[in-house]
């Protein structure tokens, strides 16, 4: 089993153009990246392409991660989400789930038990917190994050004023924040 590397260790390794850095990044966040891509695209083949392209981009161009601008987790999530949304927008006409499931072994990308436990705990808390949101707030976030809809597109789809969309997203995230505050990696600070 790989020794536990901190996210800072992984960033330094990637910056030094070390294959081990990409390997560690994938082992820690590959499962999350694949989950995000599959949720957005609903197409296993396309999701795998997006994950591979995302990690290869990090490898070929080096880490552009900026400490203090969010966590390594949010950085890789953003890269994968942006690529998946780009693909979705160019692929809306395709039939979803049209890629056959190959009969082969499945192995978790997360190989460190500590990380797996942390993600599982976080997942349970996030599920509970999301379930507590009013349906329209939850739907607004889902349309944006997983559907790739812009603020105007959401307003049109939900038949509400643009200002309502802006308010809903912030209120929803603030409520999630207050529910999850004690689970966040760093204390949330309000202005």
CA distance 46 to 38: 8
DSSP notation for 151-179: HHHHHHHHT--HHHHHHHHHHHHHHHHHH
Does 56 contact other proteins by CB under 8 A? Answer: yes
Which residues inside 84-103 make contact with other proteins, applying CB under 8 A?
85, 102
Does 46 contact other proteins by CB under 8 A? Answer: no
Mapping DSSP to helix (H, G, I), strand (E, B) and coil, where does residue 122 land?
Answer: helix
Q: How far is the CB of 101 from other proteins (least distance, A)?
A: 9
How many alpha carbons fall within 13 Å on the CB side of residue 6?
4
Which residues inside 67-86 make contact with other proteins, applying CB under 8 A?
67-71, 73-75, 77-83, 85
Residues 6+ away with beta carbon under 8 Å from 65: 11, 14, 72, 75
Interface residue with other proteins, options 5, 10, 24, 32 (CB under 8 A): 32
**Contact of 94 with 47, CB cutoff 8 Å:** no
Interface residue with other proteins, options 63, 87, 88, 137 (CB under 8 A): 63
Does 127 contact other proteins by CB under 8 A? Answer: yes
Q: How far is the CB of 5 from other proteins (least distance, A)?
A: 15
Q: How far is the CB of 95 from other proteins (least distance, A)?
A: 19
Interface residue with other proteins, options 108, 135, 159, 182 (CB under 8 A): 108
For residue 2, CA distances in Å to 23, 111, 117, 143 come to 10, 8, 16, 38
Does 31 contact other proteins by CB under 8 A? Answer: yes
Does 145 contact other proteins by CB under 8 A? Answer: yes
Does 166 contact other proteins by CB under 8 A? Answer: yes
Residues in the chain: 191
Does 177 contact other proteins by CB under 8 A? Answer: yes
Q: How far is the CB of 94 from other proteins (least distance, A)?
A: 19
Q: How far is the CB of 165 from other proteins (least distance, A)?
A: 8
Of 13, 46, 49, residue with least CA distance to 28:
13
């Amino acid at each position: 089993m790989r020794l536990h590397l901190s996210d800072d260790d992984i960033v330094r390794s990637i910056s030094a153009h070390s294959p081990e850095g990409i390997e560690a990044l994938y082992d820690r966040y590959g499962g999350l990246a694949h989950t995000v891509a599959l949720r957005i695209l609903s197409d296993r083949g396309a999701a795998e392409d997006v994950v591979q392209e995302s990690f290869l981009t990090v490898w070929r161009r080096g880490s552009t991660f900026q400490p203090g601008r969010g966590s390594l987790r949010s950085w890789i999530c953003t890269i994968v989400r942006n690529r998946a949304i780009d693909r979705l927008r160019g692929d809306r006409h395709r039939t979803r789930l049209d890629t056959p499931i190959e009969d082969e072994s499945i192995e978790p990308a997360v190989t460190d038990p500590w990380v797996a436990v942390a993600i599982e705990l976080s997942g349970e808390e996030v599920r509970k917190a999301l379930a507590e949101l009013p349906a329209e707030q939850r739907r607004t976030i889902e349309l944006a994050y997983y559907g790739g809809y812009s603020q105007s597109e959401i307003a049109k789809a939900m038949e509400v004023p643009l200002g309502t969309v802006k308010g809903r997203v912030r209120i929803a995230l603030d409520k999630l924040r207050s529910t999850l505050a004690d689970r966040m990696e760093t204390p949330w600070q309000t202005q």
